[in-house]
Amino acid sequence: MTSNCSLAVVVPALNEEDHIGRCVLSLLAQLPEGGRIYVVDGGSRDRTRDIVEDLKRKDPRIVLLFNRYRLQSAAVNQVAQLLATHPEPVELLIRADAHAAYPPDFIELLVEAYRTSGAQSVVVPMTTVGEREFQRAVAAAQNSLLGNGGSAHRRATASRFVDHGHHALFNLSFFLNVGGYDETFSHNEDFELDHRIQLAGGQIWMCAEAVVEYVPRATPGALAQQYYRHGFGRGRTIAKHRLSPKLRQLLPVMALASCVLGLAAAPVFWQAALIPAMYIASCMAWGIVLSIRHQDKDILSSGFAAVIMHLSWALGLIHSIMRAPVIREQLASAQTHRRS
């Protein structure tokens, strides 16, 4: 199926020495004839570039580029624009995250889904796999309803058309025609692009067979920072397109508001402290249930991880929505600058 398909893979990377080698090798083993893997490094300070350089010397199908803007969105756009001027036309662009592991038939499954569905974009489900103790707890939370809120690409059981998913494959021409990723977004650039794809009449197909394994953040601080940025990015998308948040996106905000109001009222009305206490206790109980269900004591703290994810995401979303007028002005200015 892939032998007659012209495609390229782009792997944005920044300080990924623990994962980049495994990621590139897994993709290289299934790359069709004529395909290339573009690793776009955003200025890594670890051994990421050295590892890629070593792989590149062994296999010329690997190309290492520098991403001066550091963001994943800019890295993918950079390769897309490079391919647009390539002497041999490239039909498909596959985005792969360095922090993930890919099944041996990943590319074949994507191309087959693209051909049979007629969609302009193919997305995939993502499951989280922890390597260290806290990562295992985060993985258990992210793979459960408490952590993913029922997101389509976290619970996909069948291939179908969706509004959003974990990005994997694009028709290169369509990707460029809709403007690619918005490079002012450091997070949530995927959902923002999916919205524009559908506004332009494009379709997004979820390939349920091509499941990606993602490695989560290893510390509570890193997890909180990541989810704050995710929430802020979703808020920027809402501000840019004047969208209404979905119920599952409002639930973390409701949890944060309940905790803040409950603690604020507690000095006057002590029973109010029961509200945040009940929320935290419920999350901790969920973690205990997951631990018993999977017979894994390492995921006892998955409830704690869920609390971090909920409240950090909510803080980011609220912050960005409060700054919505400023964000719209910044986005309009950035678009004007790009046109000029």
Q: Report the alpha-carbon distance of residue 189 to residue 173 in Å, rounded.
A: 19
Q: Report the alpha-carbon distance of residue 167 to residue 192 in Å, rounded.
A: 12
Q: Report the alpha-carbon distance of residue 196 to residue 63 in Å, rounded.
A: 29
Q: What is the pLDDT of residues 121-154, one digit of tens each?
A: 999 998 888 878 899 999 999 988 887 765 666 6
Q: What is the pLDDT of residues 32-45, one digit of tens each?
A: 988 999 999 999 99
Nearest Cα to Cα of residue 235 among 247, 244, 222:
244
Q: Report the alpha-carbon distance of residue 312 to residue 252 in Å, rounded.
A: 9
Mean pLDDT rounded to a whole number for the chain: 89
Percent of the chain scored above 70 by pLDDT? 91
pLDDT at 79 over 80: yes
Q: What is the pLDDT of residues 196-219, one digit of tens each?
A: 999 999 999 999 999 888 888 889
SS3 label, residue 190? helix
Question: CB-based contacts of 199: which residues, under 8 Å, 6+ apart?
Answer: none
Cα 312 from chain centroid? 16
Predicted TM-score (pTM) of the model is 0.85
CATH of span 7-215? 3.90.550.10
Report the DSSP pairing between strands 92-95 and 204-206: unpaired
Residues of the chain with CATH 3.90.550.10: 7-215
Angle between helices 20-28 and 106-117 (to 10 degrees): 60
What is the helix, strand, coil percentage profile of the chain, to 5? 55, 15, 30
Please report the sign of the dihedral spanned by the C-alpha atoms of residue 157, residue 141, residue 219, residue 296: negative
Beta bridge partners of 205: 122, 161
